[in-house]
Amino acid sequence: MEPNKVIARDYSAVLLESEYKMLTSGIEALLAGNQDRIRLETIEPFFILSIDKENEYYRFIIRFVENHLNTTFYKVNCNEEKLELFVKTSKSDLKDSKTSLGR
């Protein structure tokens, strides 16, 4: 594994369609310069994601809350190109999930 890179796999985490849309539209607004930061709180499992721009990088702070005593933090930095790819992939994943469900 390369230094300062993280891969988190939690297959129990599921975003609602509205949460996916809120996340992608928030990131697009951040990339367009219409806002400085986004924050998303999910219902189940409970986690908080915030993304803000720091110089030429975007900083993700992800906090998974299992209970009041057990919280896991991740901090990830990425450039604009990677953030744009993340949005594109997220939108594609949402579209593919709708297609597979026959919507």
Confidence of residue 100 (pLDDT cuts 50, 70, 90): low
End-to-end alpha carbon distance in the chain: 39
Tell me what the mean pLDDT of segment 60-89 comes to. Answer: 88
Residue pLDDT, tens place only, 28-37: 999 999 998 9
Distance of CA 11 to the CA centre of its chain: 15
Q: Residue 83 forms beta bridges with which residues?
A: none
Catalogue all structural domains in the chain, each as residue range(s) with its CATH number: 17-95 (2.30.31.40)
Tell me what the mean pLDDT of segment 14-25 comes to. Answer: 85
Distance of CA 13 to the CA centre of its chain: 12
Count CA atoms closer than 13 A to 68's CA, side-chain side.
Answer: 0
Confidence of residue 7 (pLDDT cuts 50, 70, 90): low
